[in-house]
Amino acid sequence: LKKQDSSMVMAFMWVTFISLLVGGLMGLLQTLVRTGKFNLPFGIGYYQILTVHGVVLGLVLTTFFIVGFQFALMIKTVGITTAQRKWAWASFWVMLIGTVASATMILLGKANVLYTFYAPLKAHPIFYFGLTFVVVGSWIACFVNFNQLFKWKKKNPGKHSPLLAFMVVINMLIWLISTLGVAATVLLQFIPWSLGLVDSMNILVSRTLFWYFGHPLVYFWLLPAYMAWYGILPKIIGGKIFSDSLARLAFLLFLLFSIPVGFHHQLLEPGIDPFWKYLQVVLTFAVVIPSLLTAFSMFATFEITGRQKGYTGLFGWFKNLPWKDVRFFAPFMGMVAFIPAGAGGLINASYQLNQVVHNTIWVTGHFHLTLATTVILTFFGISYWLVPVLTGRKLNKKINNLGMIQTVVWLIGMLFMSGSMHIAGLLGAPRRSAFSNYQGSEQAAEWIGYQYGQAIGGSILFIGILLMLYIFIYMAFLAPKGVEEFPIAELPTGAEPTPWVLENWKLWVGIAVVLILFAYTVPFIDIIQNSPPGSPPFGWPIGNGS
């Protein structure tokens, strides 16, 4: 990458790793509070740190890493013009201003509303304005990415768009379509309400709009990891992409099915007809298919590569994967974690089973395996080559080996923490709560051992965070100068041509919109028509406050 492109992507990486430190520290404090043996100093509230943790890691770290990484992929595969680079910087600054505004309000204790910011929890208006800026900044990035591919297509008529650029555009389409929901609830409901312009809002509308965004959000996190699995890892292990068509199909299925499924977060909420919840449960099972395709494709890539290298026997290909290369090892361990993590997701999504786990700390365990293990270990895996590429340095043996240790530390920490969360959740322990013995309840006594388990895991994870930060600083400033490879995987020679229908954007976006309208229109009208008195659809014009 050119110097000015590298500094732009690196700016996103700096925010990512600073967020890791701040958010991770808050996570450690939470697990300590939940043992009942530790009190927060200086009058800091539990929900204050829980909000910092969720917002900074779940929303800030992820969005900055993803937007930065995707810019790197687009620049490498389709290029960037001077004007586009300027807009890319604009997206960075708008997102950063928003982040600083929201984070300041949380740190001042004026936005203890958690990362889901459900009403009737109310934050200072600046918190919501800050979130709006983050979303608007990311929209700028969306349009820059769309424009990058558009320009490339014009210059290269009759050619398929490069796989990674295609994947970035899909992810940004999912982001753009889904953030319309959160933008609607923030602009039309939360901001007027927090400014005191209205004194009520329809809470079910706000939660429905939030989850219309909230579920695709998790795939916005996952898909950059899949980009690395499909489009980068084959190169790292010395192989080729298994199937260009399969990879594109998997991403298109995410575009279709990741949005019309938000009700699976609201299965226990009154006011939504069970038929529509059931329909969205069915669609949720449809969104599992592209992940199963991905699992198949990964095994195929690993096996074919090994056999081509001449490793024989049933598992010769497996034994000879590059286990000592952290660029492979960290994402691979993320994949392994995704097997139980995905199984947990299927349990959550099973309509009746959801009653057992909803609002228990099992759900927290689920997203620490999916997001904080599968996705984050893959992001770390990407950083091991991306940061040296950006800083003109090389990943040396020392840092490679430290990265291997970091990965193992992370896995052990997560095994304790997420494992304890899953078990305690099945025993009924609630999520989003500080320590309590619930007036000596026998059931609550069963949870305490697992809360210690979480604190042990949280402490090990914090060591993992410190190691990762050291690795990042080392790669940014201290690693030996040199040229690190930007690994982009290629198709095997003689691969079947990819069908053009997979690149028919109008068709796929059209089907996605139809599915969304199908899944949401009737229940949404229902929610508005049957809203309780005093809750106008968007809290405007002025409600009566009842």
Indicate which single residue of 295, 402, 434, 463 sits in contact with ligand HAS (rule: CB under 6 A).
295
How many residues contact ligand HAS, by CB under 6 A? Answer: 33
Indicate which single residue of 49, 241, 349, 389 sits in contact with ligand HAS (rule: CB under 6 A).
349
CA distances from residue 150 to 143, 172, 412 in whole angstroms, order as listed? 10, 14, 44
432 is catalytic: yes
CB 52 within 8 A of CB 106: yes
**Should residue 213 be labelled a site residue for ligand HAS when binding is judged by CB under 6 A?**
no
**149/363 with CB nearer ligand HAS:** 363
422 is catalytic: no
53 is catalytic: no
Indicate the angle between helix axes 326-349 and 203-231, nearest 10 degrees.
150
**Should residue 339 be labelled a site residue for ligand HAS when binding is judged by CB under 6 A?**
yes
- For residue 409, give both structure tokens: 């530390």
**Should residue 55 be labelled a site residue for ligand HAS when binding is judged by CB under 6 A?**
no
- For residue 395, give both structure tokens: 């990943």
**55/135 with CB nearer ligand HAS:** 55
Closest approach, Cβ 182 to ligand HAS, in A, equals 14
For residue 291, give the nearest of 198, 393, 222, 392 by alpha carbon: 222
CB 261 within 8 A of CB 218: no
Segment 296 to 325, residues that bind ligand HAS, using CB under 6 A: 298-299
One-letter amino acid at 491 equals L
Segment 254 to 293, residues that bind ligand HAS, using CB under 6 A: 264-265, 284, 287-288, 291-292
Q: Would you tell me how many other CB atoms lie within 10 Å of the CB of residue 141?
A: 28
| Residues 93, 8: Cα–Cα separation, whole Å | 11
For residue 161, give the nearest of 505, 515, 474 by alpha carbon: 505
Nearest residue to ligand HAS by CB is: 342
- For residue 495, give both structure tokens: 């691969």
- For residue 457, give both structure tokens: 């895991």
**373/451 with CB nearer ligand HAS:** 373
Closest approach, Cβ 371 to ligand HAS, in A, equals 4
Segment 354 to 393, residues that bind ligand HAS, using CB under 6 A: 354, 357-358, 363, 366-367, 370-371, 375
474 is catalytic: no
- For residue 94, give both structure tokens: 């708008």
**150/323 with CB nearer ligand HAS:** 323
**Should residue 76 be labelled a site residue for ligand HAS when binding is judged by CB under 6 A?**
no
| Residues 416, 405: Cα–Cα separation, whole Å | 17
| Residues 163, 241: Cα–Cα separation, whole Å | 10
Which residues are designated catalytic?
215, 219, 366-368, 431-432
- For ligand HAS, the binding residues (CB under 6 A) are 116, 218, 221-222, 264-265, 284, 287-288, 291-292, 294-295, 298-299, 335-336, 338-339, 342, 345-346, 348-349, 354, 357-358, 363, 366-367, 370-371, 375
